Amino acid sequence: MSVELLKITDLTVSFPNKDGSLHTVVDHLNLEVRKGQIVGIVGESGSGKSMTSLAVMGLLSEDAIVDPCSSIRFNGMELLSMSGDERRKVQGNTMSMIFQEPMTSLNPVIRIKDQVGEVLKLHTDLSDEEIYKKVEEALNNVGIHDVPELMDKYPHQLSGGQRQRVMIAMAIINDPDVLIADEPTTALDVTVQAQILKLLKKINEVTGCAILFISHDLNVIKEVCQRVIVMYKGVIVEQGRALTVLKSPQHEYTKRLVASMPDKAEPQISQEKILHAENLSVYYPVKKGLFSSGAKHSAYVHEVSFDIYNNEIFGIVGESGCGKSTLVKAIVGINKDITGTLEINDERPQMVFQDPYSSLNPAKKIGWIMEEPLKLKGVRDRAERKKLVNEMLNEIGLDESYADRGISELSGGQRQRISIGLSLMRGDKFIIADEPVSALDVTVQSQILKLLLKLHDERDLTYIFISHDLNVVRHMCNRIMVMYLGRVVELADVNELYTNARHPYTRFLFDSVIGEDAKKIPEGVKPAEVVETKGGCSFYPRCRYRCDKCREQMPDLIDIGSEDTSAGPGRPHMLRCFKDITKETPEVNRISELPEGKLRQ
């Protein structure tokens, strides 16, 4: 029998209410994790998943009250009776954690190489040179490209997916005995998600590291975990083998989790354009040298052309760093360094950002934050503003008491719901949602998607919907635009794209989806990177169908004609590829191999 590494007995965690009573968030929880096991915890936002992990790591806030009868034993040691200094010898050393929101967990003024290497400085006697070598190896292991350049960057200079991968590298760099992963793939696109899950499973297999895996994605839990625990309002309601529990749930709450997915969107789209982009390029400034002169900037989005129609739900997909968020920041006017044509026939678009914590004011209460758009709109009556805020809170699944709470008092999913509600407060017609449900558990995700569809129908809204979850995109969107390294590689009606994807990269994305009927990700996948192709196709280094022409020349984006007869007029199937891959058989699997680094034997 495997060795018991972590045993939690009767863990009860509470917080004081204003009236002096206690609000229990974890109630008499019992859990054990053995060496080599991957145990999953699922449940709605606020069910106690993250509080359990924070209690194990000794990171609960000062006002948290842990019942004196509670016990958390790690490698035979009672953690709850340890002093702060004793706990710090464990934290990040033999036990580590991947946090849910990397932007708020990483220090904004410390370079990546120093943050990832800090664990080794605290817990080992390695030299600086040896530490930086291990840092580079760890960053390579989690699929980051251009590692030497990235090591000198700060967190704000990275994409959301890159920041999450840095967090994972920090957690695994010192080969912990127990790894607590709190939503470790939330911000990652499907291909990188598959790589990270494969990496975590390999670490588990090679080193015997036990993993406590917290996620709202049931497909991920099913893919990774041997056992699963289902939590509801701080209590374990069901547990057992992951495949058994998720395929044949017994508890009503578990059944509701498994069944959570909104009906597919089928809105009627008008022929009125709400947005027109033609040869649109978006730039960012490049850091200049000491003696250089003149402004320098580099294109992150290259000559994209597309239209969005009134009442449409327009999806944008692609790996982290492909230019999705950069493009929509130009559309809302955050980034004005653009060339080409961008015409919007509506009021200023409202945006739901990917990271709600960094986009909401941490010094203000929720009610104040949500009243601000109403003030700008001219709603002067305070009672009316409060009434509208309370109505929106109820619509997004929160009660009126949340108006008196601060951002730090909310879970990740609750913060994301506030962000979504905030974008709708002014009643604007054009909403840009950048990963709006990435931090939500499956039941709340379903509620928010249904809410977005309901509002779309009732208010005649138009959405740009960005997500790395291709299953969500398929349910939500009418058309989908696929981007790779700043360029549009394919654009088509959703049914046409999912049944007749023609670009190798689109096929690759679909093959990477984790789900009931998903295919296994191709072996040895390398993340997106810029490779010299003499002006040719940017996907050339990874393409299984490439030819010499692809290396020398960039294909044009052309209409190849839709095979889906239900696609409306003016909605062609656009493709940037020289080959018809439906008639091609790759001679060799040319997908480059992801370096896996050295794991502890």
Average pLDDT, stretch 542-565? Answer: 83
**Could you please report the per-residue DSSP string of 322-352?**
SSHHHHHHHHTTS---EEEEEEE-SSPPEEE
- The predicted-structure confidence for 398-429, as pLDDT tens digits, reads as follows 889 999 988 888 876 788 788 888 888 887 88
For the ranges 1-15, 411-425, 446-460, 574-588, the lowest mean pLDDT is seen at 574-588
What pLDDT, on a 0 to 100 scale, did the predictor assign at position 389? 94
% the chain with pLDDT above 90: 33
pLDDT in the model for residue 532:
46
Question: Distance between CA atoms of 62 and 90, rounded to whole angstroms?
Answer: 19
Question: Would you state the pLDDT for residue 450?
Answer: 82
Nearest-5° Cα angle at 81, 78 to 83: 115
| CB 433 within 8 Å of CB 465 | yes
Fold category of 4-258 in CATH: Rossmann fold (3.40.50)
> Tokens 């997909």 label which residue?
317
CB 376, CB 385: distance < 8 Å: no
Q: How far apart are CA 515 and CA 332, in angstroms?
A: 34
State the average pLDDT over residues 203-213: 87
> What is the full DSSP assignment across 475-533?
HH-SEEEEEETTEEEEEEEHHHHHHS--SHHHHHHHHT--STTPPPPPSS---------
What average pLDDT does the segment 294-310 reach? Answer: 83
- What is the predicted pLDDT for the residue at 519? 40
Q: Which burial class, exposed, middle or buried, applies to 534 when counting CB atoms under 10 A from its CB (0-12, 13-18, 19+)?
A: exposed
Q: What's the mean pLDDT in 577-597?
A: 50
Is the pLDDT at 600 greater than 60? The verdict is no
Report, as an integer, the average pLDDT of 269-282: 88
Bridging pattern class, strands 462-466 and 313-317 = parallel
Residue 347 and residue 332 in contact, taking contact as beta carbons nearer than 8 Å? no
Domain definitions of the chain by residue range: 4-258, 366-427
Q: Which residues contact 94 (CB under 8 A, 6 or more apart)?
A: 74, 75, 176, 177, 178
Question: Does the pLDDT value for residue 376 go beyond 70?
Answer: yes
pLDDT at 289 over 60: no
* pLDDT higher at 110 or 320: 110
Report whether pLDDT(489) > 50: yes
Q: Of 116, 119, 106, give the one whose Cα is nearest residue 141.
A: 116
Per-residue pLDDT of 192-201, as tens digits, reads 777 778 878 8
Helix axes 160-172, 112-123, angle to 10 degrees: 10
What is the C-alpha separation between 601 and 596, in angstroms, rounded? Answer: 14
DSSP secondary-structure letter at 404?
A: G
Please give the C-alpha separations between residue 520 and each of 108, 354, 387, 513, in angstroms, as whole numbers: 37, 27, 50, 8
For residue 17, what pLDDT band results from cuts at 50, 70 and 90? confident
In the prediction, which pLDDT does 268 show? 61
- Residue 471 has what pLDDT? 82
User: Over the stretch 53-86, which tens digit does the pLDDT of each residue have?
Assistant: 999 999 888 889 999 999 999 988 999 999 888 8
Virtual torsion, Cα 334, 337, 341, 342, nearest 10 deg: 0
